[in-house]
Structure 1
Amino acid sequence: MQILPELGAAVASRRKHLGLKQGEVAAMSGVSQEVLSRFERGKVAEFGSRKLLAILGVLGMEIQFVPFIPAGSLDDLRLERGGGS
């Protein structure tokens, strides 16, 4: 899973749905338009939580944490079912 590109795409989608321009969201959230643009395009290696929360707040979004069970490999599944290789 590529978390930051997925978050960036969701932010871009929501921003467009609301009819807002990057510059408007950037100004309201206290980040530069260039930073927001790079985030939306998945071109950042890291993105601070304060920036993310500020942008999400402007867009009326929130992060929800849900538990998940990591998927194993095909080999793990074979072993679990007793099939070996």
Structure 2
Amino acid sequence: MQTLSELGLAVAQRRRALGMTQIDVAKRAGVASDTLSRFELGKATDFGARKLLAVLAVLGMEMQYSLEGHAGSLESLAREHGLRR
């Protein structure tokens, strides 16, 4: 995922897959349901780290990061550089 909008869509998909409403998730995460709604729609102008981590925890999700250019398997890196294994 590259953008906050993409992350919002992933959160919405996960929430629906779990059969949870925005109100359920918002209450458990301690955020306003309208804020969660805007986030899922990609319209949140400010969705801080505390809110994001709380929502992800409720949904059983977590964030991972990687250094730019250092992510991926050896196979994907080889393809990226036009090499074959």
> Normalised by the shorter chain, which TM-score bucket?
0.7 to 0.9
Q: Describe the SS at the equivalent of 2:14.
A: helix
Deviation at 1:68, TM superposition (A): 2.6
Residue 45, structure 1, aligned to residue 27, structure 2: no
- What are the within-5 Å matches in structure 2 for residues 54-73 of structure 1? 54-69=54-69
Match of residue 32 from structure 1:
32
Deviations 1:44-80 (CA, angstroms, capped at 9, x unpaired): 12210000000000000000112232xxxxxxxxxxx
Q: Give the distance between the partners of 2:46 and 2:28, measured in 1 at CA.
A: 21
**Following TM superposition, where does structure 1 have runs of at least 4 consecutive aligned residues deviating by more than 4 angstroms?**
none
**Larger gyration radius, structure 1 or structure 2:** 1
CA RMSD of aligned residues (A): 1.3
Deviations 1:8-59 (CA, angstroms, capped at 9, x unpaired): 0010000000000000000000001100000000001221000000000000
Residue 36 of structure 2 aligns with an amino acid whose one-letter code is L
Deviation at 1:2, TM superposition (A): 5.1
Match of residue 6 from structure 2:
6
Q: Give the distance between the partners of 2:10 and 2:41, measured in 1 at CA.
A: 10
Q: Give the distance between the partners of 2:38 and 2:45, measured in 1 at CA.
A: 10
The two structures have a TM-score, normalised by structure 1, of 0.76
Match of residue 72 from structure 2:
none
Q: Give the distance between the partners of 1:12 and 1:27, measured in 2 at CA.
A: 15
